[in-house]
């Protein structure tokens, strides 16, 4: 049975407003850009955060309306 090898990036540091940059290699691999939506989940043991793309993108115009 083949297992997928994980490649870890970082460490990264949270900013004062609790933001963190996603490495460009991951953004490119997932074809994510400005406005791309992602979801977060906490693993069952509470040791990892999972991030996944939703497949949806919000435009800057949408962002200015909701803000």
Query: Residue 1: pLDDT above 60?
Result: no
Judged on CB neighbours under 10 Å (0-12, 13-18, 19+), 50 is exposed
Query: Residue 2: pLDDT above 80?
Result: no
Question: What is the pTM (predicted TM-score) of this model?
Answer: 0.70
Q: What are phi and psi of 51, to 5 degrees?
A: -125, 135
Q: For residue 24, give the H/E element and its range.
A: helix 24-30
pLDDT tens profile 7-30? 999 999 999 999 999 999 999 999
Distance of CA 46 to the CA centre of its chain: 18
pLDDT tens profile 47-57? 999 999 999 99
How does residue 5 score in pLDDT terms, banded at 50, 70 and 90? confident
Three-state SS at 28: helix
């Amino acid at each position: 049975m083949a297992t997928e090898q994980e490649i870890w990036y970082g460490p990264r540091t949270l900013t004062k407003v609790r933001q963190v940059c996603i490495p460009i290699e991951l953004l490119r691999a997932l074809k994510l850009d400005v406005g791309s939506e992602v979801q977060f989940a906490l693993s069952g043991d509470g040791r990892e955060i999972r991030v996944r793309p939703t497949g949806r993108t919000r435009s800057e115009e949408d962002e200015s309306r909701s803000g």
